[in-house]
Chain A
Amino acid sequence: MNQFAVRVEGLKKSFGSTQALDGVDLGIPTGTVLGLLGPNGAGKTTMVRVLTTLLKPDAGRAWVAGHDVVVQPQAVRRSIGLSGQYAAVDENLTGIENLYMVGRLYGLSRAVARARAKELLERFRLTEAAERPSKTYSGGMRRRLDLAGALVAAPPVVVLDEPTTGLDPRGRLDTWSLISELVGDGTTVLLTTQYLEEADQLADNIVVIDRGRAIARGTSDELKAQIGGERLQVVVAHPDQVAIARSVLTDVGTGELLVDEHLRRVSVPVSGGTKALIEALRRFDAEGVEVLDVALQRPTLDDVFLTLTGHLAEETEQAEMKTEMAAS
């Protein structure tokens, strides 16, 4: 029982006619990171809101650090730190005031709250901006401050709801390295994300969620194997070279070829990414094949969804929006 810092059994929650969570089970072993992967409207945020006691489930149970979220919400709140999708910092307060306030509300004494705020600002590289109102912060800085807020009381479980949505690539990398550090400390993390790449980087285990149901689970490698991994695709200049392309890609690939004679396009699943690409190009060069286009395609969330559900993530989103509009 105790090896799971977070446990969820048959969780259900609906809003009007929309079933946001439709019987989800999951467990996060203590000290690991679970990536909850899914498109907008899949039920990720609802899951977060139930686990952080912001929302009561219709059915099912959930425990955080051994405490039932419905029966012992205050004990759950003491064990959990939340960093939201929209950085929930008070924009009129300075960086240090924000963290001091959160520390006080976790029940820390004035002195401890102040010391903790300083320590976190330093760790999150916000010391220079510590005395500035947080409304003057960049998006990335706000997100870092929000993340720091989740860690003020050094809770055993941290929930990060789409921590990099809306950040530029640099901000994203930045946040990733902060989260990796956090995991090094033995904190248990629930991370929701729309990006397979992000779950891949940070999560020990991934649960793919769609329309309120967990549709796949496993490590990043297991999921990728299920989806089929990367594909190498080439377009050759002349129709008579398609045959050569077939034989080259059969050699470097790991699976079945997809051939479009008309477009002179051949693709194949590969493992070891760029190695296969270089090998293929070397062979084409040696055979004198003129290559018009070559691409190494990594599986995206869309591929995951197409493979696992037979529909695109985008469609879920639109269906979700329609239901929401109909409901309101």
Chain B
Amino acid sequence: MSALTQAIRDGGVITWRNLVGMRRVPDALIGLTIQPIMFVVLFALVFAGSLGGAPYREFLVAGIFAQTVAFNVFFTTIGMANDLQKGIIDRFRSLPMSRTAVVLGRAVSDLGVSVITLIVMSLTGLVVGWRIRGSVLDALAGFGLLLLFSFAMSWIGVFVGLTARNVEVAQSAGLIWLFPLTFVSSAFVSVQGFPGWLQPVGEWNPVSAVARASRELFGNPTQLPGFGESSAWPAQHAALYAVLSSLAIVAVFLPLAVARYRRVASR
């Protein structure tokens, strides 16, 4: 069996194992879906009034999608740190299985989590007045892009989870960087409203590109009323930049995660 087919076969077993585990302990999954519902509802009710009403709601929903799939990396971090702490990684590493399967299985099963949260958020979005105004194909491409980004981000989660010394460390280290990542972006507001020095950071933040590309593909407004269109390259080529940055994240963090898994000493 080639290394790739073995990685896929064993990765499938690990994905199955992770999904069964999630079904048995649905608490985490419930928390993970309630949070985006809260975000959609709170932002739509609380912020929309001050920030332009209906257009803001249309602008906002894709931003929350991007933020939420980014935050799912936290779930991956915790899952990985948990496996490490419980000693099950030792068993896996002593088995003649693919060295990539455990990390691959984690990334794939957490993609399943993102599918569920996206469905829940879309339904909530529809309730608060968000609509898909583009074609069905474009909309599917939008969801595909969000899932690609989610998949890419989970490799960072795998790496952080395998690097943290225990679950408690993983809980703080896995969460803290996600706030600047998702807030210094066009997910909730316009980057043009940032201080000048921060604007390039926000423009080149992949979260901005993912949010903007989804807005384009869903046929939603890409800018808030009162702000001009951004002329930055990532904004002009949002979908392309979102795909490229996702691939770049995978290219960097997949090898790092696998290398970490090979060397990791649990406990």
A interface list, Cβ under 8 A from B: 49, 52-55, 74-75, 77-78, 80, 82, 84, 86-93, 97, 101-102, 104-107, 133, 149
List the A side residues contacting B92 at CB < 8 Å.
Answer: 105
B203 in contact (CB, < 8 A): no
List the A side residues contacting B17 at CB < 8 Å.
Answer: 90, 93, 97, 101
Q: Is the CB of A92 within 8 A of B96?
A: no
**When each residue 84-104 of chain B gets 1 if its CB lies under 8 Å from chain A and 0 otherwise, what string results?**
001110111111110001000
Q: Is the CB of B91 within 8 A of A84?
A: yes
Q: Is the CB of B87 within 8 A of A88?
A: yes
Q: How far is A102 from B88 in the complex, measured between Cα atoms in Å? A: 11
CB contact between A105 and one of B10, B265, B267 (< 8 Å): that residue: B10
List the A side residues contacting B24 at CB < 8 Å.
Answer: 92-93, 133
Q: Is the CB of A77 within 8 A of B90?
A: no
Q: Is the CB of B86 within 8 A of A92?
A: no
B30 in contact (CB, < 8 A): no
Shortest C-beta distance, B72 to chain A (Å), equals 19
List the B side residues contacting A91 at CB < 8 Å.
Answer: 86
State the 5 A-B residue pairs at the shortest beta-carbon distance, nearest first. Answer: A92-B21, A77-B96, A88-B91, A88-B87, A78-B96
CB contact between B94 and one of A53, A75, A92, A101 (< 8 Å): that residue: A53
Contacts A101-B16, A149-B91 known; list 14 others, CB within 8 Å.
Answer: A53-B93, A54-B265, A55-B265, A77-B95, A78-B96, A82-B90, A82-B91, A82-B94, A88-B91, A90-B17, A92-B21, A92-B25, A101-B13, A106-B95
Q: How far is A97 from B20 in the complex, measured between Cα atoms in Å? A: 9
Shortest C-beta distance, B119 to chain A (Å), equals 23
B interface list, Cβ under 8 A from A: 1, 10, 13, 16-17, 20-21, 24-25, 86-88, 90-97, 101, 265, 267
Q: Is the CB of B87 within 8 A of A84?
A: yes
Subset of 21 A-B contacts with CB under 8 Å: A53-B94, A77-B94, A80-B94, A82-B94, A84-B90, A88-B91, A90-B86, A92-B24, A93-B17, A93-B20, A101-B13, A101-B16, A102-B91, A102-B95, A104-B10, A104-B13, A105-B97, A106-B95, A106-B97, A107-B1, A133-B24
Shortest C-beta distance, A114 to chain B (Å), equals 13
Q: Is the CB of B21 within 8 A of A90?
A: yes
Shortest C-beta distance, B22 to chain A (Å), equals 8
Q: How far is A54 from B267 in the complex, measured between Cα atoms in Å? A: 13
Shortest C-beta distance, A102 to chain B (Å), equals 7
Q: How far is A163 from B90 in the complex, measured between Cα atoms in Å? A: 15
CB contact between B86 and one of A74, A88, A106 (< 8 Å): that residue: A88
Residue of B nearest to A107 (CB): B96
Q: How far is A6 from B24 in the complex, measured between Cα atoms in Å? A: 40
Q: How far is A77 from B101 in the complex, measured between Cα atoms in Å? A: 15
Shortest C-beta distance, A78 to chain B (Å), equals 4
Shortest C-beta distance, B6 to chain A (Å), equals 8
List the A side residues contacting B267 at CB < 8 Å.
Answer: 86
Shortest C-beta distance, B109 to chain A (Å), equals 12
List the B side residues contacting A149 at CB < 8 Å.
Answer: 91
Shortest C-beta distance, A126 to chain B (Å), equals 17
Q: How far is A305 from B261 in the complex, measured between Cα atoms in Å? A: 38
List the B side residues contacting A55 at CB < 8 Å.
Answer: 265
Q: Is the CB of A54 within 8 A of B10?
A: no
List the B side residues contacting A54 at CB < 8 Å.
Answer: 90, 93-94, 265
Q: How far is A182 from B88 in the complex, measured between Cα atoms in Å? A: 23
Shortest C-beta distance, B93 to chain A (Å), equals 5
Q: Is the CB of B97 within 8 A of A88?
A: no
Query: Quick one: which of B1, B88, B95, B96 has the most chain A CB within 10 A?
Result: B95
Shortest C-beta distance, A133 to chain B (Å), equals 6
Shortest C-beta distance, B98 to chain A (Å), equals 9
Shortest C-beta distance, B3 to chain A (Å), equals 10
Q: Is the CB of A106 within 8 A of B90?
A: no
Q: Is the CB of B90 within 8 A of A105?
A: no
Q: How far is A89 from B90 in the complex, measured between Cα atoms in Å? A: 10
Q: How far is A242 from B111 in the complex, measured between Cα atoms in Å? A: 80
Residue of B nearest to A89 (CB): B88
Shortest C-beta distance, B80 to chain A (Å), equals 14
Residue of B nearest to A85 (CB): B87
Query: Quick one: which of A86, A87, A105, A107 has the most chain B CB within 10 A?
Result: A105
Q: Is the CB of A105 within 8 A of B95?
A: yes
Shortest C-beta distance, A5 to chain B (Å), equals 16
List the B side residues contacting A49 at CB < 8 Å.
Answer: 265
Residue of A nearest to B102 (CB): A105
Residue of A nearest to B95 (CB): A105
Residue of B nearest to A55 (CB): B265
CB contact between B88 and one of A53, A75, A90 (< 8 Å): that residue: A90
Q: How far is A53 from B101 in the complex, measured between Cα atoms in Å? A: 17
Residue of A nearest to B266 (CB): A54
List the A side residues contacting B13 at CB < 8 Å.
Answer: 101, 104-105
